[in-house]
Amino acid sequence: MASLSTGAIEALANGSGWNEAVLQLVNIRKIDGGSGPSRFRVMMSDGRHTLSSFMLSTQLNYMAEENLLVPNCVCVLKRQVTNMLKDGRRVVIILEIDVIKPADASGKIGDPIPYSDGQSRGPQPAPVPESRSPLQPQNRNEAVVRNLKRDFAKKTPSALPDTPGGSSKIVPIASLNPYQSKWTIRARVTNKSSIRTWSNARGEGKLFSMEIVDESGEIRVTGFNQEVDKFFSLIEVGKVYYISKGSLKIANKQYTSVKNDYEMTLNGESTVIPCEDSCDVPMVQCDFVPIGDLENREKDAIVDVIGVCKSVDELTRLTTKSNREVSKRTLSLMDISGKLVTVTLWGEEAEKFDGSGQPIVAIKSAKLSDFGGRSLSASFSSTMMINPDIPEAYKLRGWFDKEGHAMEGQSLTEVRGAGGRLSENWKSLADVKSEHLGHGDKADYYSCIATIVFLRKENCLYQACPTQDCNKKVVDQQNGMFRCEKCDKEFPNFKYRLILSANIADYADNQWVTCFQDSAEAILGQNAAYLGQLKDSNESAFDEIFQQANFNTFIFRNRVKLETYNDESRIKATVMDVKPVDHREYSKRLIMNIRSMGAK
């Protein structure tokens, strides 16, 4: 039989605290949260006193909603935090609670009386009736609870919205937490996203997000639906605002490098007011990682970096898999560690970037990739600053002008082949197998130098739909017509396309690969149409082409992926690109590898 922790209520109410208090739940009341989550107000008893100033933390709302917490159940208060209100009263936020005895197993234990702490400095009468008669019928409680809520609101200096620079107390961003809602912060907006809309089974909506910073730290803020209308156009990047009464929750760190365990959502009660006096508020909060340390970070990590833009490449355009055209530019960043890393910029940022004069470039929330060893990419949520007004930038400039400019630097991103923009990932064919490339969720890509040792000339050609961009195999209707299922049409002709199965080998191992049209034509030195013609008309000439193509050496860029057909898993390798060997680049790479191996 659980006995309650007598004296715990008094201890919790006066601030002394009590660990693992065993209490009986007397009453639980839902408080509608407006546009935020509902809150549950709980009255607990230790057999001697009752206290109604317990609030369930929102992450435990499910316990109330699923009727795990009902009057008369006995619980152990495992984790709580006590907040002091401005009038001196305490509210105990329940962070973790276990029900050790269900409600029906026990009636009311003891004959507790409401605890009045005598410290209450609240002049309003409303709190007093509440604590004297906690068990009054529903409506009375409701009225009292609402009163209490209004009291809380009243006690907050209401001068805040009217005189921002006045008597309101500003709290640091670093102190924000989900258990206090009556705060005001003063922060600068460092990054604002555009409005994004969504539409799914549950409905539609829009949101925007931003990152704000003050002397103590930074935090990510999101506004939904009505808050978008209220605040989006008001907020400008670089300006400082007083923000109050947002809701806090645990942060999803996947998309941002913002250092805060929590993130904020603007709700119906939140206010955003421009601040005139802003010079104290820092421009940006970054936790820069030395470029040399990037090797030790996990791929896909989000990091902040700063360095000198030692060199910048030409703007290029490429077409994505979804047939969109996008601009791209790479630059080389170097810092005091003497190491260099390649950074990729996209879209407008790539187009606008001016790397002349070797500026200091700082990027917040850049994405680290293992492309070419280690490289960085500026994504949608990255912020790039050129010659920022921060001490790290000045330090870098000083170092670079004195000694850095003369350094060659060692790049973390693999040396690209002449004219090659891709960071190649050189592997021997034995490495591909021993490193289990392709066994993960995503396909792996690698480059190798290998010699063709076998070409399968049987079934290397198929009849494809003559429509441009449709490569589906057509069905021979045997009446002179060919049917394409994808286009749902019949044609009197077709075009030949290649799917070439080949075995390639290097000093270490061999590999079966599939070459599609472009790479197959490059290997065979003939186009598919001509080959198709030869196959039908001149078999020995057709064979000759394959003889000539055999035992040639190329640079292959291959894609490997584990594929499963009917319970059987096999590694499939596809040739993405085939190029003649550039012996100079190859020699340089070999010499570099030999030297670095020799140095170890």
Partner 1 sequence: MAGILDVPKPRINCSMLSQFINRAVCFIGRVEKVHPTGKMFTVMDGEGKTATVELNEPVEEELSGIVEVIGMVSNKGEIMASTYNLLREDKGVPFDLELYNEALKVIHDFPQHYPFQVAASG
State how far the Cα of 497 lies from the Cα of 353, in Å rounded to an integer: 42
Q: Nearer Cβ to partner 1, position 175 or 587?
A: 587
> Would you count residue 591 as binding partner 1 (CB under 8 A)?
yes
β-pair type (203-213, 218-224): antiparallel
Q: Which of 314, 408, 598, 600 binds partner 1 (CB under 8 A)?
A: 598
Task: For residue 385, list its beta bridge partners.
Answer: 362
Helix (H), strand (E) counts: the chain: 12, 31
Q: Nearer Cβ to partner 1, position 442 or 595?
A: 595
**Phi/psi at 392 (nearest 5 deg)?**
-60, -35
**Phi/psi at 167 (nearest 5 deg)?**
-80, 0
Place of tokens 């609240």: 122
H or E segment to which residue 550 belongs: none
Q: Nearer Cβ to partner 1, position 169 or 584?
A: 584
Q: Which of 595, 596, 599, 600 binds partner 1 (CB under 8 A)?
A: 595
Helix 539-549 × helix 517-524 angle, to 10°: 90
**Least Cβ distance, residue 585 to partner 1 (angstroms):** 10
**Least Cβ distance, residue 193 to partner 1 (angstroms):** 50
Q: By CB under 8 A, which span of 32-40, 132-140, 297-305, 581-589 interacts with partner 1?
A: 581-589
State how far the Cα of 104 lies from the Cα of 200, in Å rounded to an integer: 43
Q: Nearer Cβ to partner 1, position 251 or 581?
A: 581
**Least Cβ distance, residue 591 to partner 1 (angstroms):** 5
E strands within 400-548?
A: 410-411, 444-456, 461-464, 475-476, 482-484, 489-491, 495-505, 510-516
Q: By CB under 8 A, which span of 230-238, 440-448, 484-492, 588-596 interacts with partner 1?
A: 588-596
**Least Cβ distance, residue 579 to partner 1 (angstroms):** 14
**Least Cβ distance, residue 428 to partner 1 (angstroms):** 17
Q: By CB under 8 A, which span of 182-190, 511-519, 525-533, 589-597 interacts with partner 1?
A: 589-597
- The residue count for binding partner 1 (CB under 8 A) is 8
Q: By CB under 8 A, which span of 42-50, 194-202, 273-281, 586-594 interacts with partner 1?
A: 586-594
Chain center to CA of 68: 34
H or E segment to which residue 399 belongs: helix 391-402
Question: One symbol per residue from 525 to 564: x for binding partner 1 (CB under 8 A), - otherwise; what is it?
Answer: ----------------------------------------
> Would you count residue 583 as binding partner 1 (CB under 8 A)?
yes
Q: Nearer Cβ to partner 1, position 442 or 600?
A: 600
State how far the Cα of 145 lies from the Cα of 54, in Å rounded to an integer: 12
The distance between the two most distant Cα atoms of the chain, rounded to a whole number of Å, is 107
With beta carbons less than 8 A apart as the criterion, state whether 341 and 290 touch. Answer: no
With beta carbons less than 8 A apart as the criterion, state whether 240 and 186 touch. Answer: yes
Q: Nearer Cβ to partner 1, position 547 or 593?
A: 593
**Amino acid (one-letter) located at 402:** K
- Cite the DSSP H helix spans in 403-451: 429-434
Give 368's DSSP letter: E
350, two tokens: 């790539």
> Would you count residue 584 as binding partner 1 (CB under 8 A)?
yes
**Least Cβ distance, residue 543 to partner 1 (angstroms):** 29
Place of tokens 């970037």: 353
State how far the Cα of 416 lies from the Cα of 316, in Å rounded to an integer: 16
Q: By CB under 8 A, which span of 89-97, 162-170, 175-183, 591-599 interacts with partner 1?
A: 591-599
Q: Nearer Cβ to partner 1, position 152 or 586?
A: 586
CA dihedral 466, 472, 475, 480 (to 10 degrees): 0
**Least Cβ distance, residue 575 to partner 1 (angstroms):** 24
State how far the Cα of 27 lies from the Cα of 43, in Å rounded to an integer: 5
State how far the Cα of 104 lies from the Cα of 282, in Å rounded to an integer: 57
H or E segment to which residue 517 belongs: helix 517-524
Q: Nearer Cβ to partner 1, position 417 or 532?
A: 417
**Least Cβ distance, residue 595 to partner 1 (angstroms):** 8
**Amino acid (one-letter) located at 535:** K
Q: By CB under 8 A, which span of 34-42, 201-209, 394-402, 592-600 interacts with partner 1?
A: 592-600
> Would you count residue 600 as binding partner 1 (CB under 8 A)?
no
**Least Cβ distance, residue 453 to partner 1 (angstroms):** 25
State how far the Cα of 168 lies from the Cα of 160, in Å rounded to an integer: 5
**Least Cβ distance, residue 387 to partner 1 (angstroms):** 38
Q: Nearer Cβ to partner 1, position 473 or 588?
A: 588
Q: By CB under 8 A, which span of 23-31, 302-310, 370-378, 579-587 interacts with partner 1?
A: 579-587
Q: Nearer Cβ to partner 1, position 490 or 582?
A: 582
Q: Nearer Cβ to partner 1, position 324 or 595?
A: 595
**Phi/psi at 113 (nearest 5 deg)?**
-115, 155
Give 321's DSSP letter: T
Q: By CB under 8 A, which span of 266-274, 276-284, 331-339, 580-588 interacts with partner 1?
A: 580-588
**Least Cβ distance, residue 589 to partner 1 (angstroms):** 11
Q: Nearer Cβ to partner 1, position 327 or 553?
A: 553
**Least Cβ distance, residue 420 to partner 1 (angstroms):** 16
Q: Which of 90, 253, 588, 589 binds partner 1 (CB under 8 A)?
A: 588
Which of 402, 446, 443 has its CA nearest to residue 424?
Answer: 446
> Would you count residue 483 as binding partner 1 (CB under 8 A)?
no
Residues in contact with partner 1 by CB under 8 A are 583-584, 587-588, 591, 594-595, 598
